[in-house]
């Protein structure tokens, strides 16, 4: 539990290790100055750690003095070493995703579909490439329609055949209409080896309401699926927490790779 907590909040680990080395406790204000963050951010963090039993506090006048709980000095160094080794293994873009998730948890501001796509696209592509089977590689393929360049999020395949991947955040029917129009515009790319497209549609709420049904969206995309040009979809409901989770994106990426194999092998 502690490893998971510190993996999602690296600053908490750094703070408590720092406090273990001090002869006396410190206020949230002093810690905020030490680590270069705002006082409200540090105060929320210290109170969070106090609720978890990691920190104790003593009231001196109007100040709370935070100190590590007795017994942590024996177990924390080993936990810290493991957590830090895991953090070093994470790609920088994945670390940014974890930080973004933490910030948006503390300051619950909803991400727009476009912002979500931009934030998760790099991690998703990285995980697709990590899970590609031997013989498949990233491809470059392009075309133009009405003087506009056609561009998929990603294209992978063999020397003779390519499959596109298109990731979309969907909130309202207009987003689905735009997606269907985009798939229809891919016709020119068939002449340069594009065999089909894997559509990853992540349905999120808008102001707390869901306007789309995954089954309906899947049916609409299924109508676009033809023997000469495959359109295979992965459509599901997601929360903001899901799309900012490396583990969630790992699962979706593996599913997309399986769909790519389905197109290539058939």
| HEC secondary structure over 54-93 | CEEEEEECCEEEEEECCCHHHHHHHHHHHHHHHHHHCCHH
Mention every residue, 6+ apart, whose C-beta is less than 8 A from residue 224. Answer: 180, 183, 184, 231
7-35 mean pLDDT: 83
Q: What is the DSSP string of 111-161?
A: PPHHHHHHHHHHHHHHHHHHTPPTT-EE----EEETTEEE--SEEEE-SS-
pLDDT at position 237, please?
94
Is pLDDT at 112 greater than 60 in this prediction? yes
Look up the pTM and report it. Answer: 0.62
Query: In this predicted model, what pLDDT tens digit does every residue of 134-145 receive, in sequence order?
Result: 888 888 877 766
Q: How many other CB atoms sit within 10 Å of the CB of residue 27?
A: 19
Q: How many other CB atoms sit within 10 Å of the CB of residue 137?
A: 11
213-240 mean pLDDT: 93
Q: Could you give the CA distance from residue 221 to residue 233 in angstroms, rounded to a whole number?
A: 7
Q: Could you give the CA distance from residue 42 to residue 15 in angstroms, rounded to a whole number?
A: 9
Nearest to 152 by CA among 186, 180, 184: 186
Query: Half-sphere exposure of 218 toward its Cβ, with a 13 Å CA cutoff?
Result: 8
Q: Which helix (H) or strand (E) holds 201?
A: strand 194-203
Query: In this predicted model, what pLDDT tens digit does every residue of 211-222 receive, in sequence order?
Result: 999 999 999 999
Q: What is the mean pLDDT of the chain?
A: 82
pLDDT at position 219, please?
95
Residue whose entry in the numeric block shows the structure tokens 């934030």: 119
Domains of the chain: 2-89 (1.10.10.10), 113-265 (3.40.1350)
Higher pLDDT, 101 or 226: 226
Percent of the residues in the chain that have a pLDDT greater than 90, as a whole number: 26
Radius of gyration of the chain, Cα coordinates, nearest whole angstrom: 24
pLDDT at position 18, please?
87
Query: In this predicted model, what pLDDT tens digit does every residue of 165-202 receive, in sequence order?
Result: 999 999 999 999 999 999 988 888 888 889 999 999 99
91-103 mean pLDDT: 58
Distances (CA, A) of 152 to 47, 88, 118, 245: 45, 31, 14, 23
Query: In this predicted model, what pLDDT tens digit does every residue of 48-60 receive, in sequence order?
Result: 888 888 888 888 8
Query: Phi/psi class of residue 207: alpha, beta or left (left: φ > 0; alpha: ψ in -120 to 50)?
Result: left
């Amino acid at each position: 539990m502690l490893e998971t907590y510190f993996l999602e909040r690296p600053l908490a680990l750094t703070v408590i290790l720092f406090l273990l080395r001090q002869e006396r406790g410190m206020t949230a204000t002093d810690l905020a100055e030490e680590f270069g963050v705002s006082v409200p951010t540090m105060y929320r963090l210290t109170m969070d750690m106090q609720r978890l039993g990691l920190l104790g506090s003593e009231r001196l006048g109007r100040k709370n003095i935070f100190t590590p709980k007795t017994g942590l000095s024996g177990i924390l160094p080993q936990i810290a070493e493991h957590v830090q080794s895991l953090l070093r293994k994470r790609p920088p873009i994945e670390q940014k995703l974890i930080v973004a998730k933490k910030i948006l948890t503390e300051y619950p501001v909803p991400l727009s579909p476009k912002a979500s796509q931009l934030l998760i696209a790099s991690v998703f592509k990285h995980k697709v490439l990590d899970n590609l089977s031997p013989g498949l590689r990233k491809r470059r393929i392009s075309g133009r329609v009405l003087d506009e360049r056609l561009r998929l999020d990603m294209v992978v395949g063999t020397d003779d055949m390519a499959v596109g991947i298109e990731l979309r955040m969907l909130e309202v029917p207009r987003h689905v209409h735009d997606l269907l129009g985009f798939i229809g515009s891919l016709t020119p790319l068939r002449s340069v080896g594009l065999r089909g497209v894997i559509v990853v549609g992540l349905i999120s709420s808008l102001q707390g309401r869901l306007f789309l049904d995954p089954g309906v969206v899947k049916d609409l995309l299924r109508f676009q699926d033809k023997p000469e040009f495959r359109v295979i979809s992965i459509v599901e409901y997601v929360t903001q927490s899901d799309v900012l989770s490396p583990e969630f994106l790992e699962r979706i990426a593996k599913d997309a790779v399986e769909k790519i194999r389905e197109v290539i092998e058939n």
